[in-house]
Amino acid sequence: MTDVVVNTTAAIPVAHAPTRAAEARRLLTLTWTLALSDWKFRFYGSVLGLAWTLVRPFALFGVVYFVFTQIAGLDKRVPHYGVYILTALVMFNFFAETTNGCVQALVTRESLLRKMQFNPIVIPLSISVTALLNLGMTLIAVFIFAIGSGVYPTWTWLELPLLVALLFVLATGVGMMLSVLYVRFRDIQPIWEVVTQILFYASAILYVPTTVAESAASYYRMFLCNPIPAIFTQMRRAIIDPHAPSITHAFETPAYALIPLGIIIGIFSLGLWFFQRESPRVAENL
Amino acid sequence: MQRVTALAESPADARAARLAAAPPAVVIDHASKTFRLPHVQYSTLKERLLHPWRSTTYDELRALNDVDVTIRQGEFFGIVGRNGSGKSTLLKCLAGIYRPDAGAITVHGRLSPFIELGVGFNPDLTARDNVVINAVMMGLTRREAAASFDAVIAFAELEEFVDLKLKNYSSGMAVRLGFATAIQVSADVLLVDEVLAVGDAAFQQKCFEEFNRLKAEGRTVIFVTHDMSAAERYCDRAMLIERGDVQMIGEPHAIARAYNELNFGRLVHEQDETGRYGDQKVCEIADAWFEKDGVRTGEVAQHERVTMCARIRFHEAVVDPVVGFSLRNDVGHTFFVTTSEWAEVATGSFAAGEELTARVAIEAVMSTTKYELTPSIARVGGVDVLDVREDLASLYVHGTRVTGGLVDLPHRFELERG
């Protein structure tokens, strides 16, 4: 009772509510910090550290390259088949890592959500950003491998960031949706694993998109409406083989290329809307 | 007006007057929160698809019921209540983690966004990384977080352990780190949930100093605690909640008393009958109890007056029986004994069928624990025991001040320098 400020005229600090800009900045800083610490955490305790993230894809590439080109001999008709498989695989892995990581993300971060006030969207976003950092690392390995196999950089390589951005938007949209669905339905996880497997085979990773046009032409348009093979079609032309068809070419009617783009935007908007609808009550339903 | 109050009254009253006139910092306007506890949890999509129309039934748990209070800017506001009373739910509603179902909560100014220390600490990262992450979570930029890092570590006194992984920290060290990080944030309204329970005495002292600094700066602090001495020491006002209802809002000393009564009042229960001596042919002890202000009670605050009572029923005529009371503490030490003979009180003669109620009023100077009352009745001389019922009534003595020893004698502390 004695430790009271006697100076009764002491100014009480004027309180300001945080502005929207400050809130947005906090959201981005928080996302980046969580992503970076998750990403750094992968290298902790491993002897090889950062190098390990490069060694692993190289080892995988070696196997894939050997099996598909030397043993199966599939590179006879398709130029740089091995490089295509590797790039597609790495990009698909980014999609799979983001979406599968998002499924349980809200539940595993329960203590954070229950004890601190922040927009929960930070959590799926940070998962996507961590996966993006991983993709960046492995893409370096892919480029080294590509140049070693005779695929040289061209100006069209600059399309890659745009393609990755599209894939990022798609994966984040799906991830946001899955993370809040998992809070309600715990069997989302095995279901999504199966869906990922189906997508893997439906997305032209072990084969090139034009194979579908040759052997199952009636499915080709439908196949290209799936945003992932659509992105890979464009990726193949931009990075690996300038003679391969672009996405507008592949559809014959260029306007059709807006379908996979629309699907990406649609899925992202739906995911965002659903997440924002569910997220205010997510902390108490965990 | 402020000048007049400052001159006319004590500093504490002046502060109270100033706070009453201060603009509101947090307005809780009839807020309620109910949780739904479903009887059957449909947690899989499969079950939902198999039974799409089966309705889910649920129990409702009222965690907060019509909480209505305005906390002023610069106020140190305590929230006390037993486990499960709704304190944490209220804090989570304040922090914006939960949304109240009814009513509204308005916060003027920046609120510290966490309710617990060290939220998001990752045991596999070093203290350095954790402090930066934690500071960012509380709204600092990465640069600000890095700049304040040294101050945080110095405050927590953990300079030697900066690059140690958090899992190798003791729990006290982790809390020190959490507290040091938390106070770096310049929020206008701070939510503090039970931080004083951990940490050694030296660090607790540091926390207290920090609270005094916050008070001096005019920050609003909302403080949840079980420690009544801390509540009394720091809070300007306090609120007692029980099962989601606000029981009382007011001066912290009164709240602390009410809290102790709530806690201990309920613990008094029926005694089983062992330790009874005498044949009870001539008379028997029908009942014994404690009284406060003429009302039966099971608890009393230190230094309040309390009365030991016993009712004796006579079956045969007796002249000048001796009524005795003995009090013992929780470890069985007899603490106080008195009899009508020692007190030189003549009891008189009683016929069969008569009843006698004996009362001894004492001041509860004893230290805070549970006491048992053993009433006894004997013939003149005190040797021929008629009835003794051991531990027939119990009393909790509670206090808000820390004491040691068996008794808390009324005392005055004086210091003279030089």
Q: Which tens digits make up the pLDDT trace of B222-233?
A: 888 877 877 887
Q: Write down the pLDDT at residue B373.
A: 92
Given an 8 Å threshold on Cβ–Cβ distance, is A29 in contact with B142?
yes
Nearest chain A alpha carbon to B96: A117
pLDDT digits (tens, 9 = 90+) for A155-191: 999 999 999 999 999 999 999 999 999 988 888 999 9
In CATH, the number for domain B277-398 is 2.70.50.60
Q: Write down the pLDDT at residue B309.
A: 94
CA distance A170 to chain B (A): 23
Given an 8 Å threshold on Cβ–Cβ distance, is A116 in contact with B95?
yes
Which residues of chain B make contact with A195, given a CB cutoff of 8 A?
A: none
Q: How far is CA A255 from CA A252, A259, B330, in A?
A: 9, 8, 87
Which residues of chain B make contact with A38, given a CB cutoff of 8 A?
A: none
User: ipTM of the assembly?
Assistant: 0.70
Q: Write down the pLDDT at residue A10.
A: 35
How many alpha carbons fall within 13 Å on the CB side of residue B229? 9
Mean pLDDT of all residues in A45-49: 58
Nearest Cβ partner for A116 among B110, B119, B212: B119
* CATH superfamily name and code, B12-264: P-loop containing nucleotide triphosphate hydrolases (3.40.50.300)
CB A202 within 8 A of CB A209: no
Residues of chain B with CATH 2.70.50.60: 277-398
CA distance A154 to chain B (A): 37
CA pair distance A95, B209, nearest whole angstrom: 51
Nearest Cβ partner for A16 among B110, B141, B142: B110
Q: Write down the pLDDT at residue B131.
A: 85
Mean pLDDT of all residues in B303-327: 90
CA pair distance B292, B309, nearest whole angstrom: 11
Which has more confidence, B159 or A100? Answer: A100
CA pair distance A227, B151, nearest whole angstrom: 50
Which residues of chain A make contact with B95, given a CB cutoff of 8 A?
A: 116-117
CB A203 within 8 A of CB A229: yes
pLDDT digits (tens, 9 = 90+) for B99-156: 888 888 888 877 776 667 777 777 877 888 888 888 887 777 888 888 888 888 888 8
Handedness of CA B244, B247, B251, B257 (dihedral sign): negative
Given an 8 Å threshold on Cβ–Cβ distance, is B219 in contact with A18?
no
CA pair distance A72, A54, nearest whole angstrom: 26
Q: Write down the pLDDT at residue B4.
A: 41
The helix/strand/coil state of B322 is strand
Given an 8 Å threshold on Cβ–Cβ distance, is A12 in contact with B73?
yes
pLDDT digits (tens, 9 = 90+) for A240-273: 988 888 888 888 888 888 999 999 999 999 999 9
Mutate to test the interface with A, among B19, B49, B137, B188 (most CBs of A within 10 A): B137
Nearest Cβ partner for B95 among A22, A40, A117: A117
CA pair distance A229, A235, nearest whole angstrom: 9
Mutate to test the interface with B, among A7, A25, A29, A38 (most CBs of B within 10 A): A29
Could you give the strand order of the β-sheet that contains B283-292, starting from the edge strand earlier in sequence? B295-297, B283-292, B305-314, B355-363
Mutate to test the interface with A, among B41, B92, B221 (most CBs of A within 10 A): B92
The helix/strand/coil state of B94 is helix
| A192 residue type, one letter | W
Residues of chain B with CATH 3.40.50.300: 12-264
Question: Among residues B324, B327, B335, B334, which one has the least CA distance to residue B381?
Answer: B324
Burial (CB < 10 A; 0-12, 13-18, 19+), residue A231, is: buried
